[in-house]
Amino acid sequence: MEDIGTSGTAQGTAPKPEDIFTPRAPAGRRMFVSREIGPKITNALNEMGAQLIVYGDTGAGKTTLVLESAQESVARVECHQEKSFTDLIRDAFGSLGMVQELRMTTSNATELGAEVGAGLAAGGLGFVAKLTGRVQTKSQSQVTKEVEIIEQPLVDALLTAMGAAERRVLFLDNFDHIVSDNVKRSVAELMIAISDRADSSGNIKIVVAGIADSAGELLGLSDSASRRTISVRVAPMRDNEIREIIARGMGILAIAIDDDAAKKVADLSRGYPYVTHLICLHAARLVIGTKAQRVDRKLLGQAIRLAVEEFELDLETRFRKAIEHSGVSRPRTRILYSLADSRRNEWTFGEVRDEVEASFEATESKSDYTYLNIALGKLQKPEYGGLIRSWKVRGKTFYAFANPLAPSYIQMLVAANRVPWLLGE
């Protein structure tokens, strides 16, 4: 099977590490490791009229899953904060191939046919679209079809163009970037309208994906919209799935990896395939660059050192703000290391205290934990990096990392010997 969108896969060319390990791009078909939740997404895509919301942590594999499940039938649109609803629709038509001219007008405009500016985005589905152009089908024949739509309701114009291009899924990715309630409302309306036409359109549908703790946080829906929508949470991957990514990628590159090294990569990944790809990319490059025989713990240490430099830059800045750069007790640093080392991902105050005590010999008097309380408070403030967040349930406060990749990052710093203070303890 050919790998889409990667080079070096032509016959006779050995694949390069960057063709296989792609921390910043969705996994190609060869590298796709199937997941427990895969069938949930496929079933939702097949269900007549069902619209889909895919949500979860950053780097958990949302985009990869949707692209893999929808295959050639997907038209993907990347959302940006500054995009209006009409911009998104324009992008949708654009992703169908070579649309030459698309004009959208509001149906209630007195002179139908006047071009509509982005400012009218709030008009949402009141739009009438006029389209001329060619769309490319993604089928093997690569047929290009001429499409001309004379003033159809926008929804119908979109469905006609998608049908002609043989796409069944309009994929609005990175939807967490959309902040405008107007844009969200229009998308929700579009979902209803498309759902109602499922029968005649051949089950064309919308998939919305983005970083969120819940589907509602990503896109609040009216009752009629939620009735038509299935939401799927993409949780971190299982350990055996992460191990499969390592084994598969190294296997394709014909690089041997020691079992303890593979286990270490999986431990550091904590279910986030982004981390796995990042570390393995560097390890594979090192093996090839230094003509090493295999990935062992020593080479892996070097790879982690390189990988941590490239880890989401935002985390580095936040971490620097969070930790104390002098002093003896350094409670904020202790908290971050202890929690990163913990197997759980949320804690009560008492559990934070236990984690800190388990990782470090208690240096303060046991009965006084005010210092921990103050430190936890600071760790939530932007000026201290905001790495920790908290929330209350029935009067009880819970704490967690604001960025779920933070534990991996912190543990990679430790593994890379980048924390002399900690090592000296």
Ligand X SMILES: Nc1ncnc2c1ncn2[C@@H]1O[C@H](COP(=O)(O)OP(=O)(O)OP(=O)(O)O)[C@@H](O)[C@H]1O
The residues of the shown chain that bind ligand X, judged by CB under 6 A, are 22-23, 26-27, 31-33, 35, 58-64, 211, 245, 273-274, 277
For Mg ion, which stretch binds (CB under 5 A), given 55-63, 184-192, 233-241, 307-315? 55-63
Residue type, 223: D
List Cβ neighbours of 161 (8 Å cut-off, separation of 6 or more).
93, 96, 99, 131, 135, 147, 149
Q: What residue 133 binds from ligand X, Mg ion, none (CB within 5 to 8 A, per partner kind)?
A: none
Euclidean distance between CA atoms 71 and 355, whole angstroms: 44
294-333 residues in contact with Mg ion (CB under 5 A) are none
Pick 58 or 302: Cβ nearer ligand X: 58
CA 49 to chain centre: 25
Shortest Cβ 370–ligand X spacing (Å):
38
CA dist., res. 357 & res. 337, Å (int): 11
Minimum CB–partner distance for residue 236 and ligand X (Å): 10
Burial code (b: 16+ CB inside 10 Å, e: under 16) for 116-152 equals: beeebbbbbbbbbbbbebbbebbeeeeeebebebeeb
CA distance 240 to 82: 40
Distance CA(275)–CA(283), nearest Å, equals: 12
Relative to beta strand 229-234, strand 294-295 is: unpaired
d(CA 74, CA 166): 9
Return the number of the residue (276 or 338) whose C-beta is nearest Mg ion. 276
User: Residue 175 CB, nearest distance to ligand X (Å)?
Assistant: 10
Report whether 38 contacts 70 (CB < 8 A).
no
* Region 193-222 residues binding Mg ion, contact defined as CB under 5 A: none
Query: With binding defined as CB under 5 A, does residue 69 bind Mg ion?
Result: no
* Residue 58 binds which entry of ligand X, Mg ion, none, CB below 5-8 Å type-dependent: ligand X
SS3 sequence of 231-267:
EEEECCCCHHHHHHHHHHHHHHCCCEECHHHHHHHHH
Stretch that binds Mg ion, among 58-66, 182-190, 191-199, 218-226 (CB under 5 A): 58-66
Contacted by 274, from ligand X, Mg ion, none: CB < 5 to 8 Å by type:
ligand X
| Nearest distance from C-beta of residue 309 to Mg ion, angstroms | 23
**From the CB of 62, what's the least distance to Mg ion, in Å?**
5
Which of Mg ion, ligand X, none interacts with 59 (beta carbon under 5 to 8 A by kind)? ligand X
- Residues composing the chain: 425
Spatial CA neighbour of 152 closest among 125, 182, 170: 125
* Least distance in angstroms from the C-beta of 51 to ligand X: 19
Assigned token pair, 210: 């983005």
Q: 399 is in the binding site of which of ligand X, Mg ion, none (Cβ under 5 to 8 A by kind)?
A: none
- Residue count at the site for Mg ion (CB under 5 A)? 1
Taking the C-alpha atoms of residue 298 and residue 102, their distance in angstroms, rounded to an integer, is 57
Which helix (H) or strand (E) segment holds residue 218: the answer is helix 215-218
Query: Least distance in Å: CB of 98 to ligand X?
Result: 27
**Minimum distance between the CB of residue 66 and ligand X, rounded to whole angstroms?**
8
Q: Which does 60 bind (CB under 5 to 8 A by kind): Mg ion, ligand X, none?
A: ligand X
41 binds, among Mg ion, ligand X, none (CB under 5 to 8 A by kind): none
Query: Given the complex with Mg ion, which of 63 and 95 has the nearer CB atom?
Result: 63
Between residues 237 and 339, which has the closer beta carbon with respect to ligand X?
237
Restricting to residues 365-404, which ones interact with Mg ion according to CB under 5 A?
none
Tokens of 183: 């844009």
- Find which of ligand X, Mg ion, none residue 311 binds, CB within 5 to 8 Å per kind: none
Pick between residue 57 and residue 241 the one whose CB is nearest to Mg ion: 57
Nearest to ligand X by Cβ — which residue? 61
Residue 61's binding partner out of ligand X, Mg ion, none, with CB under 5 to 8 Å set by partner kind: ligand X
Backbone angles phi, psi at 289, to 5 degrees: -65, -35
C-beta of residue 187 within 8 angstroms of C-beta of residue 151:
no
- Distance of closest approach, residue 69 Cβ to ligand X, in angstroms: 11
How far apart (Å, rounded) are the C-alpha atoms in residues 252 and 242? 16
User: Does residue 63 touch Mg ion according to CB under 5 A?
Assistant: yes
| Residue 188 beta carbon to ligand X: minimum distance, rounded to whole angstroms | 21
From the list ligand X, Mg ion, none, pick the one residue 271 interacts with, judged by a Cβ distance below 5 to 8 Å according to partner type: none
Token duo for residue 157: 């114009």
Residue number with the shortest CB distance to Mg ion?
A: 63
The site for Mg ion (CB under 5 A) is made up of: 63
